[in-house]
Structure 1
Amino acid sequence: MSAPTPFAALHHRAGEPLLLPNAWDHASAALLAEQGFSAVGTTSLGVAAAAGLPDGVAATRAETLRLARRLGRTGRYLLSVDVENGFSDDPGEVGSLAAELADAGAVGINLEDGRADGTLTPAALHAAKIAAVRSAAPGLFVNARTDTHWLAVPDAGRETDRRLAAYRQAGADGVFVPGLADPAAIAELCATLDVPLNILYSPTGPTVPDLAALGVSRVSLGSLLYRTALAAATATAVAIRAGAPAPDPGTGTPGYAAVQALHHDRPGPVPPAGPPPR
């Protein structure tokens, strides 16, 4: 058996889940790397919303590829790309997309079975997509997501087990169950899996140390960072308009020079915060 890739190895550290923050552009990914995150994912909502497009309706294939090509070869972090449901129900097309992402430098792919109309892709079809990705891009870590709990389907636990078994058989390297937050259910699922379990972090759910104790191998932040950034920007503008002091963003706010320096695709500290040149 071949040695795991560096990205796969991050899913197999006992008691230390991979905390995967999700970026939506070059600057957000670069700033996360500056904070020591060795792996960064993308958020399909952030990528879509930033482009003025809806999420989850296969509208952002071009934007997703463009961003992957921008982020995938910086050498600053390992990149995993959220591709919704592959932007197609043709497994061959999904496989071709995976090959393009691997060529762009991505090391992982997140592939979901939820559909925009609130239904689930048939398990056999989603398994075929996973197999196509495995064939077209053998080096990609395939994180197979099922939206059984996210969409609150009937008998979600049993349906989750059925789908994850099919996705694992098709070649998934890990599985992702967003919306699953009950500690007992998480622990039970971890005990039955032979691949890493990814859980979507929720501010009202278990903490990362709690999830580690339950056996979770990967914790994704999803669109949380993007939505938080939108809230902070809006709150600042509204406060200034009202004549109030801008909300204190803390000492971590990057200055003009620091953000300007993010175009350099090489590791190293950014310049200290400072005023713009004009």
Structure 2
Amino acid sequence: MHFQSHERARRLSNLHVKGRPLVLYNAWDAGSAKAIAEAGAPVIATSSWAVAAAQGFEDGESLPFDLLEQTVARIVAVVDLPVTVDVEGGYDADPSAGAQNISRLVDLGVAGINFEDRIVPGSDLHDIKVQSTRIAAIRRMAEARGVQLFINARTDVFFYGSSTLSESLKQARERAHAYIDAGASGLFVPGLADLETIADLCATIELPLNVMVAPGLPDHSTLADAGVSRISYGPGSYLSAMASLRTSAEQTKLNFLS
């Protein structure tokens, strides 16, 4: 299984190219992952919000880790693609314990993770040094298994950092530089939609930049020109699917009543 993880992690890493973004339409269970794979996706990525919602939980690590592990196991089993999992904060603030949790997913064949610097639950952020130590622990765990796990280091500075865009940008740069030294493979900046700031980050950090679809975010072509390497739909795919399901159910009810 570690060989499988290694090969899929390598494939995932190679798909991160500045100016040619990897577009991820996020899954929440084995069925959605299979449908996305059949649509031609090169990678399956989960959304923690969607995985939790699909099981009746709130986001923020309220979904039991055992249930997350079971969901991931089924996704890996039904798709022959790299799978990257949103692990939020690793379900433990302690670096070793968090890395141990994530090791269970690596042992299933996972190729990458999203790992955030928010203190879950809450809106405070881990200190840069603390978060770097946590990333380094995950990197050591993966290397011990012979897997170049793609650690997509998420920073929530544009959600919970400074009130000014320029200061948040400064914080994002600082965290990017620290996180790459700790072993991060990419930088994920949800909450950022300003094109000038996105282009600035792409030009000034070594890590491939991942943005998330949200109101005001430029189109894919514009983001590619800015140097973005990855675009995630986050919970948007789940919300779209549930809206379609609700509409179909309402129409069925109306047909029955008529």
The 5-angstrom pairing of residues 83-232 of structure 1 reads 83-114=87-118, 115-138=120-143, 139-151=148-160, 153-154=162-163, 155-232=167-244
Displacement after TM superposition at 1:8 (Å): 0.2
**Residue identity in the other structure for 2:174:** R
**Deviating more after overlay: 92-101 vs 147-156:** 147-156
Displacement after TM superposition at 1:128 (Å): 1.3
Displacement after TM superposition at 1:204 (Å): 3.4
**Deviating more after overlay: 24-33 vs 147-156:** 147-156
SS at match of 2:158: coil
SS at match of 1:5: helix
Q: Which runs of 5+ in 1 are unaligned?
A: 246-278
State the aligned residue count: 242
Question: TM-score w.r.t. structure 1 length?
Answer: 0.81
> Are 2:26 and 2:234, in contact at CA under 8 Å, matched by a contact in 1?
yes
Displacement after TM superposition at 1:152 (Å): 5.0
Q: Distance in 2 between matches of 1:244 and 1:146?
A: 49
Displacement after TM superposition at 1:234 (Å): 1.6
**Deviating more after overlay: 95-104 vs 59-68:** 59-68
Displacement after TM superposition at 1:64 (Å): 1.7
SS at match of 1:72: helix
CA RMSD of aligned residues (A): 2.0
- The aligned residue for residue 56 of structure 2 is 52
> Are 1:112 and 1:145, in contact at CA under 8 Å, matched by a contact in 2?
yes
SS at match of 2:124: coil
> Are 2:29 and 2:72, in contact at CA under 8 Å, matched by a contact in 1?
no
Question: TM-score w.r.t. structure 2 length?
Answer: 0.87
Displacement after TM superposition at 1:55 (Å): 0.8
Structure index of larger Rg: 1
SS at match of 1:231: helix
SS at match of 1:87: coil
Q: Distance in 2 between matches of 1:120 and 1:234?
A: 36
- The aligned residue for residue 33 of structure 1 is 37
- The aligned residue for residue 249 of structure 1 is none
**Residue identity in the other structure for 1:34:** E
> Are 2:176 and 2:207, in contact at CA under 8 Å, matched by a contact in 1?
no
**Residue identity in the other structure for 1:221:** Y
**Deviating more after overlay: 58-67 vs 91-100:** 58-67
CA change 1:137–1:58 in 2 (3 A) is: farther
Percent identical pairs in the alignment equals 37
- The aligned residue for residue 4 of structure 2 is none
- The aligned residue for residue 234 of structure 1 is 246
> Are 1:134 and 1:140, in contact at CA under 8 Å, matched by a contact in 2?
yes
Taking CA–CA contacts closer than 8 Å with sequence separation of 6 or more, which of the two structures ends up with the larger relative contact order? Answer: 2
Displacement after TM superposition at 1:169 (Å): 1.3
Deviations 1:117-161 (A, max 9, x none): 221122222211110110001321000000011235333122212
Q: Distance in 2 between matches of 1:240 and 1:204?
A: 35
Displacement after TM superposition at 1:75 (Å): 4.9
Q: Which runs of 5+ in 2 are unaligned?
A: 1-6
Q: Distance in 2 between matches of 1:239 and 1:203?
A: 29
